[in-house]
Each structure stands twice: as C-alpha cells, then as structure tokens.
Amino acid sequence: MERHFDEELAHVKHLLLRMGALTEAMLDAAMQALVRNDRSLLDPIFTQEAQVNRLQIDLDEMCLRLIALHQPTASDLRFLLAVSKINTELERLGDEAVNIAETVTQLLAEPPLKPFEIIPQMVEIANGMVKDSLHAFVSLDTERARRVLIRDDKVDHLRDQVIAELLSYMRKDSSAIGRGMDLIIVAKKLERIADHATNIAEDVIFVAEGKDVRHHAGEKLDPTAC
Amino acid sequence: MERHFDEELAHVKHLLLRMGALTEAMLDAAMQALVRNDRSLLDPIFTQEAQVNRLQIDLDEMCLRLIALHQPTASDLRFLLAVSKINTELERLGDEAVNIAETVTQLLAEPPLKPFEIIPQMVEIANGMVKDSLHAFVSLDTERARRVLIRDDKVDHLRDQVIAELLSYMRKDSSAIGRGMDLIIVAKKLERIADHATNIAEDVIFVAEGKDVRHHAGEKLDPTAC
C-alpha cells in the first residue's frame, strides 16, 4: 500500500512539472511570435492550453482519490492540498499565456511600435520563476523557493519601466495608443505570471516548513541571498 | 464526533461568507471613494485586506485539520478541497480590491475625466456575483451558481464598452492618457473579480454534481435561464 502511494505521489509530481513545461512553452511561443513577427508560432498554444486544463482536472481527481483512499500523514496531506492549489495557479498561468497570444495577434496586425527589449526579458525571468517554483515544490527545496520570491521585484520593476516608456510614446503620438495599450496589457500579464510563480513558491515554504509566508513574505527574506 | 464535524463545517461556511462580505465592502468603498471624490473612504480597505488574508490562512488550517481528524466522506472531502481553493479566490479578490483602491488614489489626484456610469455598474454586478457564488456554495445551490456563470458575459461586455469609450477620449486628448489608462486598469480588474466569482460558481457545480464545468462552462448553460 505504502509503495503504491509513493508511486502515485511521484506521478502527481510528474504531472505538475508537465503542466509547468506546457505553460513555459506557451509563453515562449507567444513571445517568439511577437519578436519574429510570425503569427504561425501562436498555433500550438491553443492545443497546449487544452492539455493544461485537462491536467488540472486530472490532478484534482488524483488528490481527492489519494486522500480518500490512503488517509495520508499530516505532511503528505499538506502536500496534496498544495497540489490542488498549485494546479489552479498553473491553469491560470495557461490562461494568461493564451490572453497574451491573443494580444500578440492584434499587435502583429500593425507595424511594431519599437524593438522589443524589456518584454522578452520579463518572459525569461517569469518562465524561470515558474520552473524553479515547481522544481522547488516537488523536491521541497525551500532555498530554491525563496530565490523565486526575490525575483518577483525584478519583474515588477521591469513592468514599471516598460509602462513608463510606452506612456511617453502614447503621449507623443496618438497613433501609438492602441499598440501601446496592448503592450502594457502584455507587461501586466507577465507580472501576473510571475505572481503565480510567487504563490507556488510560498506554498513550497508552507508545505516544507509549516510556515505561512503568504502575507508577509518580504519580511522574511534576505535580499542578499539572490 | 459527527455532530462536532457538522458544527465545524458550519463554522467554515460562516468564515467563507465573512471573507466574501469583507471583499464586497472593500470594493464598494473603493467605488464610493471614486464616485464621491472622497479619498478618506479608502482607509478601511487596508485593514479589511489584513482580515481577509488572516481568514485565508485560518480556513486552510481548518480544512487540513478536519480532513486529518475526521476522515470525511467523499462528498465532504470534495467540499473541503473546494473551500481550500475558494479561500484563495477570495484572497486574490481582496488583492484586486486593494489594487483598485490604489488606482483610485491616483485618479483622485486629478479632475475626473467624465462622469462614472459603467464602472459602478460593473462593481454592482461583480459584487452580486461574488455574494451569489458564495451563498450557492454554502448551500450547494447549483441553480444559483449557474446564474452567476451567465452574468460573467455581461461584465465582459461592459468592460469592452468602457475601454472603447476611454480609448476614444485618449486619442482625442493626450492629457487624458494617464487617467484613461488608470480607468481601463480598474475595468480590467473588475472583470477579473467577476472571473473569481465565476471560478467559485464552477466549484459549486463540481462539488454538488461532480460535474467539472471549468473548461467548457458555456456549452452547458441555457442562456434563457437568466
């Protein structure tokens, strides 16, 4: 029985990482489509979203079944409850990637406002945060989780920078307003993706240390640890 | 034992409704501050957010304890797992209300762009959706939950209307760009609040009927039922 439970737990972890890899691919594709001005790169995103949605439902059912059948220990129970929160974060993250892809479609219908520099940087950091938070979760590596929390500020900073820059374009040239707005929306969605990764990293610390850092994460971090 | 479990379950429901009432008050206060041009109305929002955050943590701990101690039946287990997702929706909803309050603070520093009509309507619908989704959850009233799902389209429609109107102001007068952007951000956050209510309503149907409507809600609804 015990062996079987461990195998099921390993499968749950595998599926969570798979969800994360899918959302990462979706976001990368949306960004490549924007930067290379190639709409065809957006196509796989919609199939991948369906897979993410399916995995969310499957993971919920697995958690329910594992808890009902195995009456897990307190720490395994905490882990499974966290899985059932984290799969929701990942499903939302997939939604954000699809929304970004839709905004990119609109952006590709017009000439680019300016070369893209900050937004691809935001994607790289956000994707790294998602990957690290999930790997931290499956191995309950709280150090790796804490390093995710610290990077959130960097994303917020880049978002502010990109918004300030775009607003100045929009003020100078009213024909830039539509595209500027769309790019601001993309930057804000990337910030939200980083927030999802942050939420996952906070869950890791909660599960591993029983310490809830959700509403005062900043106080507990050493910024020199980055 | 059984009696005790039922009492604890009733307390969980009470706390969820309390979280919902707090977020409703926060959003109302942010909107009243904007419409009446009175920044002092924003003050209670920040204390209320702390209460919402505390309730999220308390509810997670209660779910964990109830599952570990009482080995609930499949349907109670499904209910408790849903509580631990819904409290996250409500916590995020509280975050959105705080973000709206911060944007309102910026907006109140300048003269209003135009009289507010659509945005207060969006608040009223979104708050109604949150209240109805939570009451539907605690009484597992799937009809009430389905009526929440249908109202989401109305909020999306109002958001599109308000964005189109604001973009035309921004194109005509570049001094309106900052305020226009802020109001678009508020409208998008209200849409997201309606999305949180929709997520809760979908959880109700999942718990009550074991039917997952999360990724194909539209197909299952009868629009004439509204």
> What is the DSSP-derived secondary structure letter of residue A114?
S
pLDDT in tens, chain B (226 residues): 456 899 999 999 999 999 999 999 999 999 999 999 999 999 999 999 999 999 999 999 999 999 999 989 889 999 999 999 999 999 999 999 999 999 999 999 999 988 899 999 999 999 999 999 999 999 999 999 999 999 999 999 999 999 999 999 999 999 999 999 999 999 999 999 999 999 999 999 989 987 777 765 444 333 333 3
Residues of A in contact with B67 (CB under 8 A): 67, 77, 81
**With an 8 Å Cβ cutoff, is A215 touching chain B?**
yes
Closest-CA distance, A73 to chain B, in angstroms, reads: 8
**Residue among A77, A178, A214 whose CB faces B64 most closely:** A77
Instruction: Say how far apart CA B204 and CA B139 lie, in whole Å.
Output: 9
Closest-CA distance, A33 to chain B, in angstroms, reads: 25
Closest-CA distance, A93 to chain B, in angstroms, reads: 14
CB pairs under 8 A between A and B: 72
Closest-CA distance, B179 to chain A, in angstroms, reads: 11
A211 has pLDDT over 80: no
Instruction: Say how far apart CA B152 and CA B143 lie, in whole Å.
Output: 15
CATH fold of A2-225? Methane Monooxygenase Hydroxylase; Chain G, domain 1 (1.20.58)
**What ipTM score was computed for the predicted complex, to two decimals?**
0.86
For residue B223, how many other CB atoms are within 10 A of its CB?
8
**With an 8 Å Cβ cutoff, is B39 touching chain A?**
no
The predicted-structure confidence for B177-201, as pLDDT tens digits, reads as follows 999 999 999 999 999 999 999 999 9
Instruction: Say how far apart CA A171 and CA B174 lie, in whole Å.
Output: 5
Contacts of A94 (CB under 8 A, 6+ apart): A19, A22, A23, A26, A48, A49, A52, A53
Instruction: Say how far apart CA B174 and CA B179 lie, in whole Å.
Output: 10
Instruction: Say how far apart CA B115 and CA B134 lie, in whole Å.
Output: 32
For residue B27, how many other CB atoms are within 10 A of its CB?
25
Average pLDDT for chain B:
92
- Crossing angle, helix B74-108 and helix B177-209, to 10 degrees? 170
Q: A70 in helix, strand or coil?
A: helix
* Domain residue extents for chain B: 2-220
| Nearest of B68, B95, B90, B91 to residue B80 by alpha carbon | B68
Q: Looking at A65-218, which runs of residues are DSSP E strands?
A: none
Using alpha carbons, list the distances in angstroms from residue B175 to A53, A171, B111, B187: 43, 8, 11, 20
- Which residues in A61-97 are b (16+ Cβ under 10 Å) and which e? ebbbebbeebebeeebbbbbbbbbbbbbbbbbbbbbb
CATH: 3.40.50.620, 1.10.287.130, 1.20.58.220, 3.30.870.10. Which one for B2-220? 1.20.58.220
Instruction: Say how far apart CA A97 and CA B189 lie, in whole Å.
Output: 17
Residues of A in contact with B82 (CB under 8 A): none
